[in-house]
Amino acid sequence: ETGVTQTPRHLVMGMTNKKSLKCEQHLGHNAMYWYKQSAKKPLELMFVYSLEERVENNSVPSRFSPECPNSSHLFLHLHTLQPEDSALYLCASSQEWGTGGYEQYFGPGTRLTVT
């Protein structure tokens, strides 16, 4: 496989469930990102990892918990979500973090619905 992959593509979960989103990048990049995309709103950056260390955490509720076991994999663990958390969750990677000029490569996203 090439590029950035995400699983699952669609997820429906109840507010009491626990689930995880998975992202894998095959580009040899050093930085990985989680974004939330809601209709007609800008992309919201949730977390950034650089060389497997979390470098940004933008006031995200604790019901979202990221994990980066190595530079190719990124997880987003979900628990006790709210209906307003329903959105498209995008994973991205870039060659480096904290320096300009490097575009981000996005995965296809996970469409999450919280019931």
Partner 1 sequence: GQNIDQPTEMTATEGAIVQINCTYQTSGFNGLFWYQQHAGEAPTFLSYNVLDGLEEKGRFSSFLSRSKGYSYLLLKELQMKDSASYLCAVFNSNYQLIWGAGTKLIIKP
The residues of the shown chain that bind partner 1, judged by CB under 8 A, are 4, 40-43, 45, 56, 90, 97-101, 103-109
Nearest distance from C-beta of residue 59 to partner 1, angstroms: 13
**CB closer to partner 1, 64 vs 97:** 97
Nearest distance from C-beta of residue 102 to partner 1, angstroms: 9
Nearest to residue 96, comparing CAs of 36, 49, 54, 58?
49
Nearest distance from C-beta of residue 66 to partner 1, angstroms: 17
Burial 64-96 (b: 16+ CB within 10 A, else e): bebebeebbebbbebeebeeebbbebbbbbbee
**CB closer to partner 1, 48 vs 78:** 48
